[in-house]
Amino acid sequence: MANVYLEKVLEQVKINNPNEPEFLQAVKEVLSTVEPILDNHKEYEKLAILERIVEPERIITFRVPWVNDNGKIIVNRGYRVQFNSLIGPYKGGLRFHPTVNQSIMKFLGFEQIFKNALTGLPIGGAKGGSDFDPKGKSDTEIMKFCQSFMTELYRHIGQDVDVPAGDIGVGAREIGYMFGQYKRIRNAYEGGVLTGKAISYGGSLARKEATGYGLVFYVREMLKAHESSFNGKTVTISGSGNVAIYAAEKAIAHGAKVVAMSDSNGCIYDFKGIDLDLIKEIKEVKRGRISEYLDKHYDAVYTERTGVDSPIWEIKTDIALPCATQNELTLNSAKMLVENGVLAVGEGANMPCTQEATDYLLEKGVLVAPAKAANAGGVATSAIEMSQNSMRFYYTFEEVEAKLERIMVNIFNSCKENADKYGCSGNYVAGANLAAFDKLATAMVAQGVV
């Protein structure tokens, strides 16, 4: 990095945010690629554009007390990071997972600003959640937790203020319980206050599928730009949650063979191609473990995860789609993928590749679809859900999917155009950051010092 302003801000971010490695990683990843814009806009230093964009507008943390099925009182910590409202109401998911902390909330909120800008829709960036672990909890416990969480969160959100959605550990069931509690407290039916709702009370068709489908649309465009396609390719997908399942569905529809999927305990490999209906039954209906796949497919192989590196990246594949969590694809894993001849990596999860892994993949000529662009289909469809709520009208599944596809094609084109314009053709990681930063910085200048 040669830009002195950039270096100075990065140093200050480190000092101001000690013990927040994920947040620092996300900031460094974005800022290290926007140098060409800063070089062209010397006035950005005087306007403190970088200093303002790395500082959340507001961070809310709160106590979430609830009573479990044994009558024991449990206290969790809740968060909402309202990072940036420059181009629309705060928007971003809620994550319920024991690893949730302020650093993870801030990294996700920061990524969300850029992702939302790329969609071309009027939405700002936020993220929230709790260190609550939904695994092994009864349905009643999940409901009590969601109600307690919303009893504090409700005062900070609203359909024109901040619109949360799902993320890891938060699906339609949790959104339903939170929506019910919000409605009860507010005594008003504000349909657009949460997205990812079930269809029966204001959800959007194709929202459940949107992030995974959108990822495949983006990767398809990237492959097309390099005269390739999904057809006949093998695909490995980490995770077996919302994003992973629908990425698999769309990849199969595009003629690919998905041979491996995983959860946090291990991965399955099925050389015949994954039986996706069975995965859906295990994960969406029974909420079970992926190892149960072997109960029906005796010839599939299950490998337990033992260390930091997921065994799924040791499997030979043409296209790898990390769709589980942050930093799940390390430098070691990237080396394995390259050794096995991987063509493209499409990030379905947020920041699934470590910085070293991304750098290595790019250096070796692997096509990388960066999360903030490639997984933006989820939030884009959430915005379509909000617009349907405002109109009090529904689009059909096909209408929503067509809008999603158009948005993903546009996002890819804008990443490509920016990569080409700034002399880093083929590097869509830089292309995405440049496209989003350009839009945000322009809006910041227009809105003055706020």
Please list every residue from 176 through 215 that binds ligand NDP, using CB under 6 A: 211
241 belongs to the binding site for ligand NDP (CB under 6 A): yes
Q: Give the per-residue contact string, 342-371, with ligand NDP (x = CB under 6 A; - = no).
A: ------xxx---------------------
Nearest CB to ligand NDP, comparing residues 49 and 411: 411
323 lines the binding site for ligand NDP (CB under 6 A) = yes
Is the Cα dihedral 406, 409, 415, 419 positive or negative? Answer: negative
Neighbours of 300 (CB within 10 A): 18
168 interacts with ligand NDP by CB under 6 A: yes
Residue from 127, 144, 250, 372 carrying the catalytic annotation: 127
Find where tokens 């490999």 sit. 269
The distance of closest approach from Cβ of residue 175 to ligand NDP in the complex, given in angstroms and rounded to an integer, is 11
Residue 260 burial (C-beta neighbours within 10 Å; 0-12, 13-18, 19+):
buried
* Residue 115, number of CB atoms within 10 A of its CB: 28
Nearer to ligand NDP, 92 or 431 (CB): 92
Cβ partners under 8 Å of residue 182, min gap 6 = 150, 154, 157, 190, 193, 194
Which of 56, 164, 166, 311 binds ligand NDP (CB under 6 A)? It is: 166
User: Does 169 help bind ligand NDP (rule: CB under 6 A)?
Assistant: yes
Comparing CB distances to ligand NDP, the nearer of 135 and 155 is 135
Q: Does 116 bind ligand NDP (CB under 6 A)?
A: no
CB of 196 to ligand NDP, least distance (A): 7
**Exposure string over 127-153, b if 16+ CB within 10 A, otherwise e:** bbbbbbebeebeeebbbbbbbbbbbbb
User: Which residue, 41 or 305, is less far from ligand NDP as judged by CB?
Assistant: 305
Q: Which of 195, 242, 317, 418 binds ligand NDP (CB under 6 A)?
A: 242
Q: Which among 69-77, 240-248, 397-405, 421-429 is the span making contact with ligand NDP, rule CB under 6 A?
A: 240-248
Q: How many Å apart are CA 165 and CA 147, to the nearest integer?
A: 15
Our CB check for ligand NDP shows the closer of 6 and 168 to be: 168
Taking the C-alpha atoms of residue 440 and residue 370, their distance in angstroms, rounded to an integer, is 18
Strands (E), 85-177: 90-96, 125-130, 162-165
Look up residue 299 and give its amino acid.
D
CA distances, 102 to each of 59, 99, 131, 308 (Å): 9, 10, 10, 22
Task: Confirm if 378 and 216 have CB atoms less than 8 A apart.
Answer: no
Binding mask 375-394 for ligand NDP (x = CB under 6 A): x--x----------------
Catalytic status, residue 127: yes
Question: 3-state DSSP call for residue 169?
Answer: coil
How far apart (Å, rounded) are the C-alpha atoms in residues 38 and 62?
Answer: 38
Binding segment for ligand NDP (CB under 6 A), chosen from 147-155, 180-188, 242-250, 421-429, is 242-250
Question: Which residue's beta carbon is nearest to the bound ligand NDP?
Answer: 241
| 240 touching ligand NDP, by CB under 6 A | yes
Which residues contribute to the site for ligand NDP (CB under 6 A)? 166-169, 211, 239-244, 263-265, 323-325, 328, 348-350, 375, 378
Q: Which residues are catalytic?
A: 127
